[in-house]
Amino acid sequence: MIRFNRDFTFEGSEAQKTIMHEAMAVIANERSSGTIGYYNLPEASKTLVDAAKSLESSNTLLASGDVTDIAVIGIGGSSLGIKAVNSLLDSKGIKKRALHYFENSDPIDITRTMAKLKKANTLFIVISKSGGTIETTSIFKTLIAHFDLRLEGADRERVIVITDKGSGLSQFADAYGLGQYNIPDNVGGRFSVLSAVGIVPLTLAGFDTAALLEGAGAFLERFFEGKEEHLLEKACFLYEQERQQSINVLFSYANDLENFTKWYVQLWGESLGKIDATGSHVGMTPIGLIGSVDQHSFLQLLIEGPRDKTVTFISIDDFETPLTIPDVSLKHIEKTDFINGQTFNTLINAQCDATRESLVQSGVPVDGIVIEKIDEAHIGMMIIYYELLTSLVGAMLLVNTYDQPGVELGKVILYKKFEK
Amino acid sequence: MIRFNRDFTFEGSEAQKTIMHEAMAVIANERSSGTIGYYNLPEASKTLVDAAKSLESSNTLLASGDVTDIAVIGIGGSSLGIKAVNSLLDSKGIKKRALHYFENSDPIDITRTMAKLKKANTLFIVISKSGGTIETTSIFKTLIAHFDLRLEGADRERVIVITDKGSGLSQFADAYGLGQYNIPDNVGGRFSVLSAVGIVPLTLAGFDTAALLEGAGAFLERFFEGKEEHLLEKACFLYEQERQQSINVLFSYANDLENFTKWYVQLWGESLGKIDATGSHVGMTPIGLIGSVDQHSFLQLLIEGPRDKTVTFISIDDFETPLTIPDVSLKHIEKTDFINGQTFNTLINAQCDATRESLVQSGVPVDGIVIEKIDEAHIGMMIIYYELLTSLVGAMLLVNTYDQPGVELGKVILYKKFEK
């Protein structure tokens, strides 16, 4: 289970009820009309889990047992969600294949990641909705040359493509006879982690993606049945604060939540940062922090800086990693001995609570998400929670939550630089 | 060399000249009076480089050649600067010992990092200005128990302490006869990377810390000689935009700059996020982004979202890592072939330029820092550049740049939780 709680005041006035009612109608319509496809993924992607699992016997390379590593070639929505789930489950020791990410056009990073891989042990998964992402295609071509990938004969089983049906990349896969999984047209990149984008690589890595989908689906159903009203209320609160508290901080108390916060930053920033119907520049700025580390970095600004922020704390009830601060007392540094005998699990959660209380006392609007423990089902719930929250706030702001017209200009300028 | 350029308008009016003149007077006085010590570190820390180097022969364990790993136990200002420098130099292959960081009270992270180390090959460096940081002391005690560190006999050479003279941790080191280096009283944690905090571990890791100090010192001198006026003008611009453009984004085009952006986030946020002399909540919000990855995440918000941000681009002229996009053309994905034959070094920098131009066209105030190549001297310049910028803006905002009173409340609440 996940517990949600809050320290901000939400009145629930008639005006607010209207806002919530209308936003709810918008997203219920997105769902029922099929305009927006992510609502359907917890159900629709179930067959993908089976399809990916069947590759273990049907793909000769995977069946041989030689494949210990998976190279994921993708950027933005084609990598952030996979990394978020992978990082959270990494410490559980259930993974059977290591995931490696090629996402940046940074030559040092590409060279370093290539050096970790051997062709004989690696499956390559190329992910791009459009098929025209310059980082992805450039890196893929570099890997073809570096690992001598033939795209014919036995090597064809070494490459899997995930893309929109009919995209250039899809046609490429068809032309060379490569394995291919498609992303539904009505699912945007940043909402795609529960589509083939996430399900195929995460299943092949050994994670229980059926549970990931079940957790997501269960929360989604509860929400549409009106049993998660707090989510709608939070959306309304954030929407109403958009001008005053335009910065939304996600303060996550666990190192392995860092990639989840990066996934959230893309989802929130790219969905809501828009020119609205009246021509106004709207949107909130997402920031991801990690506790307790960032208590020693960003907290001062939260407490004493401008009152332009809301903060959401994420904590984990049970880290399932017993580690106790030993009953050691050292001369002259006995001041912190009060924590001796406690677990680090207790310490980090007490730090989360204390930091939260200090923000509440300083007048900062705060809420909290407490995850019972880290497993696929809980991660699924967190993913759908944030996707729904984003859709609701987008509906309230009257923006198109699902496009990203602002990033096109830079692409045009880049193309022009090389056309000369 | 580092090149600085800008796409925002700075008039240089009489009023602005006065602001700059007064801020300059404030920091010149901080320096000459010795109130603030970091200005003096490029000179004063030179002896530390020699002291750390001499440990290679005087410390029996280091002299034995068995020490391949260094565990750094510290958080915030006691780890961020070390990590920033270490990450940037990591790919150069000059490091002789690996640095490992114990900074978070996260039990999974601590357990994972402990598993990477063997006592016989590890030197432990405990860093805390005050000596009373709960994460640092709790982790240190855990390492003592886990690795059976005796704090007597030969094991005493295995632990080095870096702290303020006279602190609890300093007295502890004296009591057990451990090696100790001190941080000057007038150097705050987030300004301490060029003190013993950074110099001792980075020297022992094998980096050229003399060059780090020289690069920093050379830039510092040029600035105080009036030869880096652009820095003063940028400070004035940011100060004047503090209300309208309260978010300052550092968009760094290289993966290995990520820890540098985290160091910057602490420096900027914790120094400037303050209640000023009139009781107002002031300060700017720092955000670190990595290009090209975050073009696929945060860029949409920068282009179309609220006009409350300034953006500084950092790029690297020469990655010193030749990697060319091969002349491979794949059926149906020929659209990005225009980049074939170019290096990734060229691509990533062209992406930086294109993104920057798209922001300029959208009316976002932008400037750029171009680093010729990554080495210790250039990193030293970057460190002192940001420290000086922070001090200047703090002086203009009339805040105390060097304290952090806001973080105390959370500590008090935490202590109370366990007193019960």
ipTM: 0.97
Chain centre to alpha carbon of residue B410: 24
Q: How far apart are CA A269 and CA B348, in angstroms?
A: 22
Residue A272: closest C-alpha in chain B: B301
Concatenated DSSP letters of A288-339: EEETTGGGGTTHHHHHHS-S-EEEEEEEEEE-S---B--S---TT-GGGGGG
Query: Under an 8 A CB cutoff, do A407 and B299 touch?
Result: yes
Q: Which of B157, B228, B270, B376 is catalytic?
A: B270
B332 belongs to the catalytic site: no
State the CB neighbour count (10 A cutoff) for residue A134. Answer: 23
| Selected residue of B142, B276, B297 to mutate for chain A interface (largest A Cβ count, 10 A) | B297
- B144 chain-A contacts, CB cut-off 8 A: 326, 328
Nearest neighbour of B282 by CB, restricted to A306, A321, A339: A306
Judged against a pLDDT cut of 70, whether residue A114 lies above it is answered with yes
Percentage of chain A beyond pLDDT 90 is 97
pLDDT at B277: 86
A332 belongs to the catalytic site: no
Query: Under an 8 A CB cutoff, do B331 and A172 touch?
Result: yes
**Who wins on pLDDT, A277 or B128?**
B128
- Residues B281 and B113: beta-carbon distance below 8 Å: no
Q: Characterize B155-192 residue by residue with b for buried, 16 or more Cβ atoms within 10 angstroms of its Cβ, and e for exposed.
A: bbbbbbbbbbeebbbbbbbeebebbbbbbbebbbbbbb
Judged against a pLDDT cut of 90, whether residue A420 lies above it is answered with no
pLDDT at A148: 97
Q: How far apart are CA A67 and CA B88, in angstroms?
A: 32
Percentage of chain B beyond pLDDT 90 is 97
Mean pLDDT of chain B: 97
pLDDT at B127: 98
Judged against a pLDDT cut of 80, whether residue A14 lies above it is answered with yes
Residue B109: closest C-alpha in chain A: A255
Interval A231-244: pLDDT, tens: 999 999 999 998 89
Interval A342-378: pLDDT, tens: 999 999 999 999 999 999 999 999 999 999 999 999 9
Percentage of chain B beyond pLDDT 70 is 100
Please give, rounded to a whole number of angstroms, the shortest distance from the CA of B44 to a CA of chain A: 26
Concatenated DSSP letters of B215-256: HHHHHHHHHHTT--HHHHHHHHHHHHTTTTS-EEEEEESSGG
Q: How far apart are CA A300 and CA B404, in angstroms?
A: 6
Residue B293: closest C-alpha in chain A: A104
Mean pLDDT of chain A: 97
Angle made by CA atoms B248, B250, B252, in degrees to the nearest 5 = 170
Task: Give whole-number Cα distances, B180 to B55, B119, B155, in Å.
Answer: 12, 20, 15
Judged against a pLDDT cut of 80, whether residue B170 lies above it is answered with yes
Nearest neighbour of B107 by CB, restricted to A323, A405, A414: A323
Angle made by CA atoms A243, A246, A251, in degrees to the nearest 5 = 155
Give the mean model confidence (pLDDT) for residues A329-341: 95
Judged against a pLDDT cut of 80, whether residue B158 lies above it is answered with yes
Query: Under an 8 A CB cutoff, do B282 and A290 touch?
Result: no
Coil, strand or helix at B154: helix
B397: nearest Cα among B286, B267, B311, B280:
B280
pTM summary value = 0.98
- A330 chain-B contacts, CB cut-off 8 A: 137, 140-141, 151, 172, 176
Judged against a pLDDT cut of 70, whether residue A147 lies above it is answered with yes
Sheet order of strands, A122-127 included: A98-102, A69-73, A122-127, A159-164, A179-183
pLDDT at A243: 85
Coil, strand or helix at B369: strand
Judged against a pLDDT cut of 80, whether residue A255 lies above it is answered with yes
- A350 chain-B contacts, CB cut-off 8 A: 414, 417-418
Residue B353: closest C-alpha in chain A: A414
B411 belongs to the catalytic site: yes
Q: How far apart are CA B195 and CA B41, in angstroms?
A: 6
Interval B343-356: pLDDT, tens: 999 999 999 999 99
Count of positions (residues) in chain B:
420
Please give, rounded to a whole number of angstroms, the shortest distance from the CA of B257 to a CA of chain A: 11
DSSP 8-state code for residue A91: T
Judged against a pLDDT cut of 90, whether residue B420 lies above it is answered with no
pLDDT at A25: 98
Which residue, chain included where needed, has tokens 């709608």? A232
Please give, rounded to a whole number of angstroms, the shortest distance from the CA of B246 to a CA of chain A: 9
Please give, rounded to a whole number of angstroms, the shortest distance from the CA of B370 to a CA of chain A: 16
| Radius of gyration over every alpha carbon of chain A, rounded to an integer in angstroms | 23
Q: Which of A14, A225, A281, A296 is catalytic?
A: A296
- Residues B44 and B186: beta-carbon distance below 8 Å: no
Amino acid at A35: T
pLDDT at A395: 97
Residues 6+ apart with CB under 8 A from B388: B27, B220, B223, B231
- Residues A268 and B122: beta-carbon distance below 8 Å: no
- Residues A147 and A119: beta-carbon distance below 8 Å: yes
Chain centre to alpha carbon of residue A124: 21
User: What token pair was written down for A318?
Assistant: 């049970």
pLDDT band for position A145 (cuts 50, 70, 90): very high
- B299 chain-A contacts, CB cut-off 8 A: 270, 406-407, 410
Across the A:B interface, residue pairs with CB atoms under 8 Å apart total: 389
Q: How far apart are CA B70 and CA A102, in angstroms?
A: 29
Q: Which of B296, B332, B416, B417 is catalytic?
A: B296
pLDDT at A277: 86
Query: Under an 8 A CB cutoff, do A319 and B106 touch?
Result: yes
Paired sense of beta strands A159-164 and A179-183, if any: parallel
Which residues make beta-bridge pairs with B180?
A: B161
Domains of chain B (ranges; CATH) run: 2-32+215-407 (3.40.50.10490), 36-207 (3.40.50.10490)
Please give, rounded to a whole number of angstroms, the shortest distance from the CA of A225 to a CA of chain B: 32
Query: Under an 8 A CB cutoff, do A110 and B323 touch?
Result: yes
- B357 chain-A contacts, CB cut-off 8 A: 410, 413
Coil, strand or helix at A166: coil
A220: nearest Cα among A368, A6, A370, A36:
A36
Chain centre to alpha carbon of residue B396: 22
- A411 chain-B contacts, CB cut-off 8 A: 354
Which residue, chain included where needed, has tokens 């508290």? A245
Q: Exposed, middle or buried by CB within 10 Å (0-12, 13-18, 19+), for A54?
A: exposed
User: What token pair was written down for A278?
Assistant: 């009246």
Sign of the CA dihedral B143, B149, B151, B154?
negative
- A336 chain-B contacts, CB cut-off 8 A: 132-134, 137-138
| Selected residue of B83, B87, B103, B109 to mutate for chain A interface (largest A Cβ count, 10 A) | B109
Judged against a pLDDT cut of 90, whether residue B42 lies above it is answered with yes
Please give, rounded to a whole number of angstroms, the shortest distance from the CA of B303 to a CA of chain A: 6
Residue B139: closest C-alpha in chain A: A325
pLDDT band for position B303 (cuts 50, 70, 90): very high
B323: nearest Cα among A74, A417, A116, A139:
A139
User: What token pair was written down for A294?
Assistant: 């960032």
